[in-house]
Amino acid sequence: MEVLFASIPVADLQASSGWYARLFGRPADIVPNEHELMWRIAENAWLYVIEDGERAGRTVVTISVGDLDRFVADLAARGIGAGPIEPVGDAGRKAVVVDDDGNVVSWIEVAHAT
């Protein structure tokens, strides 16, 4: 596999665009058409927000970050509150945010083997 494209359907793209811009700390990297916005979240990984009212609110996406505490603080500074940082077994820690449609974006910090 070479590239990951993951989608998050929302009921109203225009209403959701500001929230996702705050979530990622920047406007969309690509606007392919009036129904999609795309953010590059890693070298070979893209998340796109797509207007699709029938599927809105049913998505769970997990993104790994290197420093979860700093990332959650950065989210708070941009006006997005994450749930509490919680352990995920021996795998690491995670925090969750939920958009206005109910889609879940989990942020994880993977534990490093010592």
Per DSSP, helices labelled H in 12-54 are 13-24
Answer left, alpha or beta for residue 23, where phi above 0 means left and psi between -120 and 50 means alpha. alpha
Q: What value does the mean pLDDT take over residues 2-30?
A: 96
Query: pLDDT tens digits for 41-94?
Result: 999 999 999 999 999 999 999 999 999 999 999 999 999 999 999 999 888 999
Give pLDDT, residue 1: 82
Query: d(Cα 23, Cα 32) in Å, to the nearest integer?
Result: 20
Length of the chain: 114
In CATH terms, is domain 4-110 a member of 3.40.1280.10?
A: no
pLDDT at 95: 97
- The answer to whether 48 and 7 are in contact (CB under 8 A) is yes
pLDDT of residue 63: 94
Task: State the pTM of this model.
Answer: 0.90
CA 110/CA 26 separation, integer angstroms: 24
Structural domain boundaries of the chain?
4-110
pLDDT confidence bin for 113, thresholds 50/70/90: low
Q: Please determine, for residue 33, whether its predicted confidence score (pLDDT) is greater than 90.
A: yes
pLDDT class of 5 with cuts at 50, 70, 90 = very high
Cβ–Cβ contacts within 10 Å for residue 59, how many?
18
